Amino acid sequence: MLVVRFYHALLGLKICSPHTCFYFFSHIIFSMVGSLPVYVWGSDLVSNQTLLKMVATPQIVGRDVVNIASQTSDLVAYYENISASVYLITVHNQDTSASPTGVGSAVAVNKNQLLTNCHIFGKKIELDGNIVKVIKKNSPVMNGKLIYKHSESDRCILEVDGYITPVRAIRSVSSLRVGERVYTIGNPKGFVDAFAEGLISAIKPSKKTGITLLSTTGIAKGSSGGALFDARGNLIGITTAVISDAPHLSLVIPAESFFSE
């Protein structure tokens, strides 16, 4: 309304003609509208187009950047590098002094957004109904906000009020092969940034996420939302669950699937 009043005021002062003023202000209005993010709020799913506006997608790389037969020679240096992108998250009700209602991990994919699992937040998960703390050793505790959720496929995305260290790149799921050596970082049972080594043991089609991965890097409570990396430190996926009668195996959601419907 303020723009419309300004338009009529300029006409009254005869600074521009009706046609010229209309063209000028139409251009301003459409430029403003075009620059605004378009959010489609639904009960659970945000559209793919909207999600890509909300989350800055990191580089997605293919198989050509990885020698699948190679092994990481200096695991200490490798661990220090990849662990920087994995965070501990705690979920609280209104009273943050009480014990958290959920504990898990999350992986930074850009300077202020992280991928994680929805089940960490419990059954009644809401975009604005959780108090989330994002924690890294020797760093200030940050506040997190849930900006995307798809509970059915267990894919959630957090945004934080501070700077975080993103992964170097995401590995394309189509380039993965059974037998590749992989590494996990998570926060199981109170152990912060726990490190494990294993293999991709199976790749299976999934209706929910396109592909589900199985790895021999078993996980425990607290590792949900953690990271699975390849030998070059590219993020492969988010460690999600264990098989009840095979605890040495873990189910992994490909990181690439977080950026598609």
Q: Is the pLDDT of residue 142 over 70?
A: yes
Q: Is the CB of residue 105 less than 8 Å from the CB of residue 225? A: yes
What mean pLDDT is predicted for residues 138-152? Answer: 92
d(CA 55, CA 44): 17
SS3 (DSSP) at 136: coil
Residues of the chain above pLDDT 70, percent: 72
Burial of 214-241, coded b for 16+ CB within 10 Å and e otherwise, reads bbbbbbeebbbbbbbbbbbbbbbbbbbb
Residue 165: name the closest of 235, 74, 251 by CA: 235
Q: Are strands 194-206 and 181-186 parallel, antiparallel or unpaired?
A: antiparallel
The whole-number pLDDT of residue 72 equals 64
How many Cβ atoms sit within 10 Å of the Cβ of residue 176?
23
pTM of the model: 0.76
Phi, psi of 217 (to 5 degrees): -95, 85
The whole-number pLDDT of residue 68 equals 45
pLDDT digits (tens, 9 = 90+) for 42-70: 234 444 444 544 566 667 777 655 544 45
pLDDT digits (tens, 9 = 90+) for 158-201: 999 999 999 999 999 999 999 999 999 999 988 999 999 999 99
CA distances from 118 to 152, 180, 253 (A): 9, 27, 12
The whole-number pLDDT of residue 130 equals 78
